[in-house]
Amino acid sequence: MEEEMNKPLILVTNDDGVNAKGISALIEMVKPLGEVVVMAPFHGNSGMSHAITVKVPIRYKKLREEENLTIYGCSGTPVDCVKLAMSEILHRKPDILVSGINHGSNASISIIYSGTMGAVIEGCVNGIQSVGFSLLDYASDADFSPTIEHGQKIVSNVLENGLPNATCLNVNFPAINKDEIKGVKICRQAKGMWKEEFEKRLDPRSGEYFWLTGYFENCENGSTDTDEWALANNFISIVPVEIDFTAYDKIEHLKKWNYEVKG
């Protein structure tokens, strides 16, 4: 028991589902570093951001157990997975939470839509050192092998050095061979946005329905200090993310507004 307490306790989750190839790679990445507990959705929950389940019950099931690894599936969202693991499964607070490895980019503005990063932010809210990993390959059979060595070093650094209070990490990997990776860039989130397009179709009863499509637009292609630039130039991007959304430098500006209410 004492030996178990001395091992880092690592909580693993994702938004692509407990059977996704990316979470298997993440488990492989962190298993040598401590006791691993996985709580992930039964099915894909991409784009769920920080959603929680409030209208239906949440269920979970133990799927596999071996030395230093226990895997659970959950009917809820990635954030539900974190909350439920903390409340019902873990015997102590995790030393680190890792989420992913996401099938596709979570760079730039994608962070606000991401279920992968929703789980990371939930961990951070609860005072857990938390890191999200994503690979710029949306394929279900993507090759995650180049991420494992570099990702393990990132997790080891977090366990050894810690993260600033109320700060988590958004890590993205370019979809290239291991020997093509130039290194790691600590950078900022690029200014960008998704340009949504809705493809309209008709069902057999002539009722309209829509599929969401679109593309990402980088609004600052000339900047060399962003995650988008790093990834485009074969670097792993690491963006520190704060959970306090307050725009402190705007407070004094807003105080100058006229708030007087006239009857």
Helix, strand or coil for residue 51? coil
Share the mean pLDDT of the chain. Answer: 94
The model's pLDDT over 28-53, given as tens digits with 9 standing for 90+, comes to: 999 999 999 999 999 999 999 999 99
pLDDT at 263 (0 to 100): 61
Q: Does the pLDDT of residue 20 top 80, yes or no? A: yes
Beta bridge partners, 172, equal 134, 237
pLDDT at 250 (0 to 100): 95
| CATH fold for domain 2-190+221-255 | Stationary-phase Survival Protein Sure Homolog; Chain: A, (3.40.1210)
What count of other Cβ atoms lies within 10 Å of the Cβ of residue 191?
14
pTM of the model: 0.93
Question: What is the spatial distance between Cα 155 and Cα 93, in angstroms, rounded to a whole number?
Answer: 17
Cα angle, residue 96 at apex, residues 225 and 22 outer, rounded to 5°: 70
Beta bridge partners, 221, equal none
For the chain, the 3-state helix, strand and coil shares in percent, each to the nearest 5, are 30, 30, 40
Query: What is the pLDDT averaged over residues 107-130?
Result: 97
Long-range contacts of 73-77 (CB under 8 A, 24+ apart): 73/18, 73/40, 73/41, 73/42, 74/18, 74/39, 74/40, 74/41, 74/42, 75/41, 75/42, 76/41, 76/52, 77/15, 77/41, 77/45, 77/48, 77/51, 77/52, 77/53, 77/115, 77/118
Query: What is the pLDDT averaged over residues 73-77?
Result: 98
Helix, strand or coil for residue 59? coil
The model's pLDDT over 128-185, given as tens digits with 9 standing for 90+, comes to: 999 999 999 999 899 999 999 999 999 999 999 999 999 999 999 999 999 999 999 9
Helix, strand or coil for residue 106? coil
Going from N- to C-terminal start, the domains of the chain cover: 2-190+221-255
HSE of 176, CA atoms in CB hemisphere, 13 A: 16
Q: Does the pLDDT of residue 215 top 90, yes or no? A: no
What confidence category does residue 5 fall into, taking pLDDT thresholds of 50, 70 and 90?
Answer: low
Listed residue (52, 54, 106, 58) closest to 79, CA to CA? 52
Dihedral in degrees, nearest 10, Cα atoms 153, 157, 160, 161:
170
- Between the alpha carbon of residue 177 and those of residues 142, 148, 233, 249, the distances in Å are 12, 12, 13, 42
